Amino acid sequence: MIGALKSCGRRSARLYSNQPLYLNPHQWKGLPSDKIFELHNQRKEALGQYYNPTNEERELILSSLPDLMSRKGDKLDYVFELDNFKERYMNNTPVAQRGLPPKLSNVEVVARGDTPHQKRKNEQITRISAYELPLLANFRQAYQPPSKVNSVLKFKYFTDFSEESTPKNRTVVLTVNIKDLDLTTAQEKKFKLLSGNKFDHNTNVFKFTSKLLPEATQNARRAAEVFNALLTETKNLDDDFADIPLDTRHSKPHTPKPVFPKEWARPQDAPVAKFNIVNTIIEDVKTKKDSQYVKSLSP
């Protein structure tokens, strides 16, 4: 019996000796703390979902904690894994501490003597608002609204903060009222004919949109050049287009509002209001009850 046990022990020892070191936690005793921590990670990675720490591994991990936590330079390299090991696999973790974030793994690590970039940026903004912005009061001027004679053209810009260059950002809309151009009757008609569907006959406003060029300033310049060319051609009455009628179909709504024909109106067939006796009695009772309640409250 004793011989059989000895042979079985020798066989098991020979079997364990052929396995890698990270699969035998009972052989980790006496190794440095770094080596124990490395073997622990290798064993957990190799076994995957079947990983289950043994009693020897628990004892060795706990015994290596003081050495690893007392280091200064590479302390954060171990704290996350050790905290999670204690929380997941140790039975002596208090219930109140389970599920809490790691103690030091979420601490922001900043090089000693260096200021974060965001902090410097905030300090610069605060410095400007405290010392430079008050100096703008020396440049205050009374507001003078622009005269209508010098500000006939109106440019509308759009701003999209998602990207620097988008079709919305570079779009410029030019609008002008025909009454501000001081044109004659013949010139107004020619201007409307040349404008086509860019002119709204309901509001007498010319509207031109430019978004072909990559920058908004370029599109504004292009819109102004197109309008100047149109105005120059309008004032040239060598051919006034007097025999061409105006086309105002584009200014009309696409879906006109339906109009009820007067021929269909039959007032004699309209429904006659009936006497609703029940509702009338109910309203009278409500009024009487309300008046009695108000009288009971009044002195």
pLDDT attached to residue 107: 56
pLDDT attached to residue 5: 47
* Nearest alpha carbon to residue 23 among 54, 69, 49, 1: 54
Question: Using alpha carbons only, what angle is made at residue 270 by residues 266 and 275, rounded to the nearest 5 degrees?
Answer: 165
Burial of residue 59 (number of CB atoms within 10 Å: 0-12, 13-18, 19+): middle
pLDDT attached to residue 117: 75
> By percentage, how much of the chain surpasses pLDDT 90?
31
Maximum separation of any 2 CA atoms in the chain, in Å: 129
> Which residue reads 């051609």 in tokens?
233
**pLDDT averaged over the chain?**
80
Q: Which of 91-100, 136-145, 218-227 has the highest mean pLDDT?
A: 218-227
- Res 59 pLDDT > 70: yes
- Res 264 pLDDT > 80: yes
Confidence of residue 74 (pLDDT cuts 50, 70, 90): low
User: Is 86 in contact with 93 (CB distance < 8 Å)?
Assistant: yes
Arithmetic mean of pLDDT, 259-288: 86
- Res 173 pLDDT > 80: yes
3-class secondary-structure state, position 255:
coil
Q: What is the pLDDT of residues 148-157, one digit of tens each?
A: 777 889 999 9
DSSP codes joined into one string, 112-175:
TTPPPHHHHHHHHHHHHHHHTGGGGGGG-----PPPTTT---EEEE---TT-SS-TTTT-EEEE
Q: Name the least confident of 82-91, 253-262, 286-295.
A: 82-91
User: Is 155 in contact with 174 (CB distance < 8 Å)?
Assistant: yes
pLDDT attached to residue 81: 59
Ordered domains of the chain (ranges, CATH) = 7-97 (no CATH), 154-250 (3.30.160.20)
